[in-house]
């Protein structure tokens, strides 16, 4: 299995970060990596999204939420049409750092027979996209924190 990981510290509570993160229907307005999201944020529910990594064409996906632990973790799996050829598990975790600080970690785990090919081709552009998403989320959380 190959993994891409992007981590950022946000000066906001996990609850505040979670409020923005869980509203996938608003990703169009603030998220430069997952530029479109539609669906219900609940385990077992289907949703659709469009990824736009720097230097790549937008890619449309459908997926199902596999695990949601409020204010802590969300996990979904994108599978290829042919079982076992290419899967990407997305995992976002929020860790309480201090009174008003959260460490967000976004990981993508590539698995399957063609995982090495997709990973080698997408590693740097997806890493850049994940970092842009994390930074946009940080700015949004910290900006809203200043208004409170």
CA 107-31-58 angle, to 5 degrees, is: 80
Query: Which structural domain, as residue segments, surrounds residue 86?
Result: 2-23+65-147
The position carrying tokens 């990824």 is 51
What is the pTM for the complete model shown?
0.88
Condensed to tens digits (0 to 9), the pLDDT of residues 72-90 reads 999 998 887 777 778 889 9
In a domain, 28, yes or no: no
Condensed to tens digits (0 to 9), the pLDDT of residues 108-143 reads 888 888 777 666 777 788 889 999 999 999 999 998
In a domain, 78, yes or no: yes
CA 74-33-60 angle, to 5 degrees, is: 85
Cβ-proximal residues to 74 (8 Å cutoff; 6+ apart), any chain: 21, 22, 41, 65, 67, 68, 91, 92
In a domain, 91, yes or no: yes
In a domain, 77, yes or no: yes
- Tell me how far CA of residue 96 lies from CA of 20, 27, 90, in angstroms: 16, 23, 20
116: domain CATH number is 3.30.530.20
């Amino acid at each position: 299995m190959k993994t891409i990981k992007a981590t950022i510290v946000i000066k906001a509570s996990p609850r505040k970060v979670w409020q923005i993160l869980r509203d996938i229907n608003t990703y169009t307005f603030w998220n430069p990596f997952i530029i479109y999201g539609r669906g219900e944020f609940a385990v077992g529910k289907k949703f659709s999204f469009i990824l736009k990594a720097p230097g790549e064409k937008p890619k449309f996906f459908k997926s199902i939420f596999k695990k949601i632990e409020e204010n802590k973790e969300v996990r979904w799996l994108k599978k290829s049409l042919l079982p076992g050829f290419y899967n990407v598990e997305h995992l976002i975790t929020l860790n309480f750092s201090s009174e008003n600080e959260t460490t967000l970690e976004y990981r993508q785990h590539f698995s399957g027979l063609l995982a090495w090919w997709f990973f080698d081709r997408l590693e740097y552009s997806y890493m850049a996209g994940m970092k842009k998403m994390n930074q946009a989320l940080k700015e949004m959380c910290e900006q809203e924190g200043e208004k409170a």
